[in-house]
Amino acid sequence: MKGFILSLQSEFYKSRKTLGFWSAIILPVLLSLLVFLVMYDNSAKLAPLPGMMIWRAYSGAIINIMGVLLPFFVIFVAYSINSVEHKADTWKTLFSLPISKWSVYAAKYFYTVFLIFVCLLLFLLFTIGTGNLLGMIKPELRFADFHMEWALTQVFFKLFLASLGILSIQFLLSLIWADFLKPMGIGFVCTISGMFMVGLNWEYAYLIPYSHPMQAMVSMMPHVKGKGRDLKAEYIVNIFTKELYVGLIVAVIVFIAGYYIVQRKSVK
């Protein structure tokens, strides 16, 4: 356990100067800032909306963009955390430290999970924060009339859970292959296929982890035909869906399989 915690600290120390780490912070900052500016510019159009609708419009814009970006972000972070060792040729040093291989491996994995979590947590905080800020600067936008902190927390938590399947697969691919193209190429192709599967409403899409973030988005923000008072403005969040179980099972299996691969991995 001590080795695990030490390795986790070391992961932070090593990664804090890499793009992988900073992207977890920059992505939510930039995206919420962008939506903030667009909404600020269009405040006249948005002014008639009631509080609930304005929150829905504001957060929906952020969630729509980041939901599409999320799988790619996961692919990139999984690559980045492993490439630190590939580039420096440090696997041999990591595995000749008096720390168990299990601790080294698990710490790397959970640090990657942690970065995804931090990224989504920041998205939540910045969505709420910039929304309220916009409400203060432009009081005619009725952000203050409604609160959806809890609903947004659930939305981002759901997206976090939906990314775990992809994460574990990509982590393993990036661990095995030192180069950039293989894990990235496979990840991109699978993600785009996953999006199509959801788009085409394929009934077994839930079995493919790469389709999970998109599935989560579609289920939380159903398209409602026709506008007006009937439009469902609130998010519908069901955490415990069958794709969540598939994602978690895949994550656990791949995580354990990865450990055996690491164990058997001779450092050449």
Partner 1 sequence: MVIETKGLTFNFGNQTVVKSLSLQVPEGSIYGFLGPNGAGKTTTIKLLLNLLKTQEGDIKLFGLDFKDHRKKILSQIGSLIEQPAIYAHLTGKENLVNRALLLQIPESRVDEMLTLVKLTAAANKKAGNYSLGMKQRLGIALAMLSDPKLLMLDEPTNGLDPNGIIEIRELLIRLTTQHKKTVFISSHLLGEIERMATHVGIINFGELLFQGEIKELQSISQPMVLIETNNTVDAANLLTKNGYNVVEVKDEHLTVTYQSKEKSAQINALLNQNGHSVYSLHKVQKDLEKLFLDITQKPAK
Name residue 10's amino acid.
S
> In this structure, are residues 143 and 43 in contact, taking their beta carbons and an 8 Å threshold?
no
The CA-based angle 203-205-207, given to 5 degrees, is 115
Tell which one of 29, 236, 256, 267 touches partner 1 (CB under 8 A).
267
> In this structure, are residues 147 and 132 in contact, taking their beta carbons and an 8 Å threshold?
no
Does residue 6 bind partner 1 (CB under 8 A)?
Answer: yes
> In this structure, are residues 70 and 163 in contact, taking their beta carbons and an 8 Å threshold?
yes
- Give the binding range for partner 1 (CB under 8 A) out of 25-33, 36-44, 224-232, 259-267: 259-267
d(CA 121, CA 156): 7
Does residue 232 bind partner 1 (CB under 8 A)?
Answer: no
Tell which one of 29, 88, 189, 236 touches partner 1 (CB under 8 A).
88
Does residue 43 bind partner 1 (CB under 8 A)?
Answer: no
- Give the binding range for partner 1 (CB under 8 A) out of 9-17, 43-51, 115-123, 203-211: 9-17
Phi-psi region of 127 (alpha: psi -120 to 50; beta: other; left: phi over 0): alpha
Does residue 84 bind partner 1 (CB under 8 A)?
Answer: yes
Does residue 98 bind partner 1 (CB under 8 A)?
Answer: yes
Name residue 6's amino acid.
L
Does residue 5 bind partner 1 (CB under 8 A)?
Answer: no
Q: By the criterion CB under 8 A, which residues form the site for partner 1?
A: 6-7, 9-10, 13-14, 17-18, 84, 87-90, 92-93, 95-100, 264, 266-268
